Amino acid sequence: MNTPIKQIEKVVVNTGVGKLSGQPNFGDKMLPAIIADFAAITGQKPSERPAKKSISSFKLRQGTIVGLKATLRRQRMESFLSKVMKVVLPRVRDFQGINPKNIDRAGNLTFGIKDHLVFPEVSPEASKTNFGMEITLVPKTPKTQEEAFKLYKELGVPFAKEEVKKKHG
C-alpha cells in the first residue's frame, strides 16, 4: 500500500511582501532578511516573484518584488510537512484546526499561517519583520474533496471539528 506522504506530489509555500516593498531600505535590508527567514523555514532558497504590471493606486512598479515562493518535493517536502503538522500548527495562537473547506475541487489543500515566528528556525529577537505564509499541498493525482480529505487525515492534518449549529431562540 502507498503511504500517505507518497501520494503528495509537492508542497508550495508562498509569502507576499508587497505591503513592505514601499518602506525605505526594503531592497537593502528587509528583503534579504525575509529571504533568509523563508529559506531557514523551507530549507531552500525561495524564488522571487516580481509584480507583473504597475498599479499606481498601490504605488507598485512593474518588476518590484511582491512575493516569494518555494516548491518543496521529496525529502524536503516530507520534513517540512512533519514539522508543520507536529510543531508549528500546535504553536499557532488560538488554533482551532484547518477548515475542511480549504480543499479545492482538484484535491489541493491550502491554508495560511499569519505569523512566521511560530517556526522553530526563526528567532523572534533576530527577526526584523513579520510576515505570513500560504502553504498548498498538491496530491499526485487529482482527487475528489472526499478522497483528499481522507488522504490529509491519514497524513495527520489537524482539521477543525464540525460544529453543531445551535438554534438561536
Question: Does 21 map to a domain?
Answer: yes
pTM of the model: 0.74
Residue 44 lies inside a defined structural domain of this protein = yes
Report the distance separating Cα 147 and Cα 87, nearest Å. Answer: 26
The total domain count for the chain is: 1
Average pLDDT along the chain, 169 residues, taken 10 residues at a time: 69 80 71 82 82 70 78 85 79 79 83 80 75 85 78 78 53
DSSP state, residue 43: S
- pLDDT score, position 4: 64
Is 103 among the domain residues? yes
Q: What CATH number is attached to the domain comprising 23?
A: 3.30.1440.10
- Positive or negative CA dihedral for 119, 95, 155, 13? negative
CA atoms of 46 and 81, how far apart (whole Å): 17
Whether 85 is covered by a domain: the verdict is yes
Domain membership of residue 160 (yes or no) is: no
Cell numbers at residue 19, please? 505591503
84 lies in which domain range? 4-155
- The answer to whether the beta carbons of residues 138 and 10 sit under 8 Å apart is yes
- Whole-number pLDDT of residue 39: 85
Report the distance separating Cα 110 and Cα 123, nearest Å: 26
CA distance 119 to 132: 11
* pLDDT at 127 (0 to 100): 72
Q: How much is the pLDDT for 133? A: 86
Give the three-state DSSP class for 167: coil
Q: Which residues pair with 67 in a beta bridge?
A: 16, 49
